[in-house]
Structure 1
Amino acid sequence: MANRITACGCSVPKGTRCPHEQAKATARQQANDAARGSAASRGYDGKWRTESKAWLAALGSPLCACGCGREANMVDHITAPKGDQRLFWSRSNWQPYNGLCNRRKAIMTEGGFGRHKGL
């Protein structure tokens, strides 16, 4: 595989990052993580785990709301609450989801892996 020359002048194999690019990416990720806060600080705590498990159990054996046919193993917010506790706890905003599908949805709607939000 051929090498590529990075903006800082490093020569690295295609598909890899030089130490400078990696350091910048790590710093960006740490800043994003700090700004976002922990799962518990966003409301995904013991109370959420208890309530969401009970809600799923009450549905029986629900399938993922995305239509993939997988068994739902978590609760997803239809509209991301973004700190709105009423929206967070509104069961009309909950849907059964599979964890894999939920991660895919989050990447596509909230950005990730180089994708812009909403693509």
Structure 2
Amino acid sequence: MPFKPRRLCSCGKIVSTGELCACQIKRKAETDRRRPNANDRGYDSAWSKARRAFLDKHPHCVMCGKPAVVVDHKTPHRGDRTKFWDKSNWQPLCAHHHNSTKQSLERSK
């Protein structure tokens, strides 16, 4: 049965593919502690209503055509309320493309 080889973490430790190194777990926990909660970032009941209405009008992922479950901001709003509510900056995505492809694109910028 084939298996994936272990990988080298940026800290120099060897870890199994698909697992996080202790340094990555610590870094993620620190980042999560500093990040405002979803409500403070604008994802409140007004967003839920707008999101639902947008997905009703745009039910398919713009990348693959599967059912969309996420309204993504094409350009990250970074707390800018004008960008947050600019509907021309919204796009429907399936969970896969929002959580993988789009995140990779944003990290590479």
**Which of 59, 66, 71 is matched with 1:70 structurally?**
66
Point out which structure has higher relative CO (alpha carbons under 8 A, 6+ apart).
Answer: 2
Task: Specify the code of the residue in structure 2 equivalent to 1:52.
Answer: R
CA RMSD between the two structures = 2.9
Tell me, which stretches of 5 or more residues in structure 1 are unaligned? 111-116
**Which of 81, 88, 95 is matched with 1:99 structurally?**
95
**CA separation in 1, counterparts of 2:36 and 2:105?**
19
Give matches, 1:50-65, under 5 Å: 50-57=49-56, 59=57, 62-65=59-62
Tell me, which stretches of 5 or more residues in structure 2 are unaligned? 1-5
After TM superposition, give the deviation of residue 102 of structure 1 in Å.
0.5
Runs of 4+, deviation exceeding 6 Å? none
Secondary structure of the corresponding residue to residue 37 of structure 2? coil
Give matches, 1:1-119, under 5 Å: 15=16, 21-22=21-22, 24-57=23-56, 59=57, 62-66=59-63, 68-110=64-106, 117-118=107-108
- TM-score, structure 1 normalization: 0.67
Corresponding residue pairs, total: 99
After TM superposition, give the deviation of residue 29 of structure 1 in Å.
0.8
Percent of aligned positions that are identical = 32
Larger Rg: 1
**CA separation in 1, counterparts of 2:61 and 2:76?**
17
